Chains A and B, each alone.
Chain A
Amino acid sequence: MVNTGLPGRQKRLSDLLEERYPHVICNDGSTHIFKKSELEYLASLLDIDEQKALPLPMLIELGANQAEAAVICEGEIEEKVVSKALNMPVKCKGMRIRIHKPQIALLRKKLKTATVYVFSPRTVTETAKPSSNHLISRPMGK
């Protein structure tokens, strides 16, 4: 029930930058709109190829371990974005970037519409096995 507002599909940053009203459709049928200022901020951090590869919105997974969360990532691009947003180096392990609770607030402050929360009953761990290799075509929140 808490994950019903998740986007049905992620879109690439380059595609969103071209849209007049950048948005994604959520599983409950509503729309999640992106702020153009945030997309421009993300575009300023990345080059053209990276913009084509960055899936949005980025998913922040909250597991049973309340002290930590993880940003679900495909590769180094999310790592770069999160590093620059938090102003500190982060590492992507097992398709997850582990961050602490206070860092979520920092990340959310900079990327309000470009990130969404996913609630997961399992513990967020380094060795968490990814459910899919290709997030872009994966329906979420089911």
Chain B
Amino acid sequence: MPELIRVRPTKIELVKLKRRLSLAQRVQKIVKDRLSILTMEFLQTARDTSEAKRKLLDEFAELYRALSVAAGHHGYMALEKELIATEADLRTTVGSRNIAGVRIPSFELTANTKPKIGYSLANTSSWLDRTAQLSEESLRAIVQLAELQRSFDLLAMEINRTKRITNALEYIVIPALQATISYLNMKFEERDREEKARLKRVKVLVAQG
């Protein structure tokens, strides 16, 4: 049995309660819509995250393989010597975007217009070029995964919050309003009946008098 809202039993309060009920029902519809959209986005993000993770692991495996071959070809000392002058001018554009009222971070690795190779092309093999290329791809995948992972967490939190709002509306606010409206209606009907009985009694007394 839902708890009644404490209000004065007047017609004005009844009208106010009816308005509140109609508003609560409209809000519930919108919140439910939002919840379904958030769930859809969450599932899509989950799929993308899992795909990005798999892709990143594959890229890492390939990168380590290429790095091992390059290290084997040049030797660790020579490789380190070559790579010491390597400069990576990487820029990430960080911003936020909005998904159904949730602020989601957005990361994008800005592509270099002029890729800078720090090592000497004459003294190194194509294995090192391949390693450098794969490491750039891995960086891109890391940035993408970071964005997806954070979106995943934020969407999950927002879904929980929205579920609580939906449940509060569905199981507490709306039933309480409905119960109070029905209680007030019964109270007014009872008053009408009392009034009728009183008038009948007065009529009888007047007739006798």
A3 and B102 CA atoms in complex are apart in Å by 10
For B96, B98, B103, the residue with the greatest tally of chain A CB atoms inside 10 Å of its CB is B98
A62 at the interface (CB under 8 A from B): yes
B93 x A21 contact (CB < 8 A): yes
Q: Does B209 contact A (CB under 8 A)?
A: no
| Closest chain A residue to B34, Cβ basis | A2
Query: Considering only CB atoms and an 8 Å cut-off, how many residues of chain A contact the other chain?
Result: 30
Check: B82 CB closer than 8 A to any chain A CB: no
In the complex, number of A-B residue pairs with CB atoms less than 8 Å apart: 67
Answer whether residue B115 sits at the interface, using C-beta atoms and an 8 A cutoff.
Answer: no
Chain B, residues 2-32, CB within 8 Å of chain A (1/0): the string is 0000000000000000000000001001111
- Contact in complex: A62, B33 (CB < 8 Å): yes
Asked if A45 is an interface residue, CB under 8 A from chain B, the answer is no
B95 lies within 8 A of A108 (CB) = no
Q: Which residues of A contact B95 (CB under 8 A)?
A: 21, 23, 31-33
What CA separation (Å) do A7 and B96 show in the bound complex?
12
B137 at the A interface (CB under 8 A): no
Which residues of chain B have C-beta atoms less than 8 A from A1's C-beta?
101
In the assembled complex, B117 has its CB within 8 A of some CB on chain A:
no
Q: Mark A96-124, 1 if CB is under 8 A from B, else 0.
A: 00000100110011001100110101000
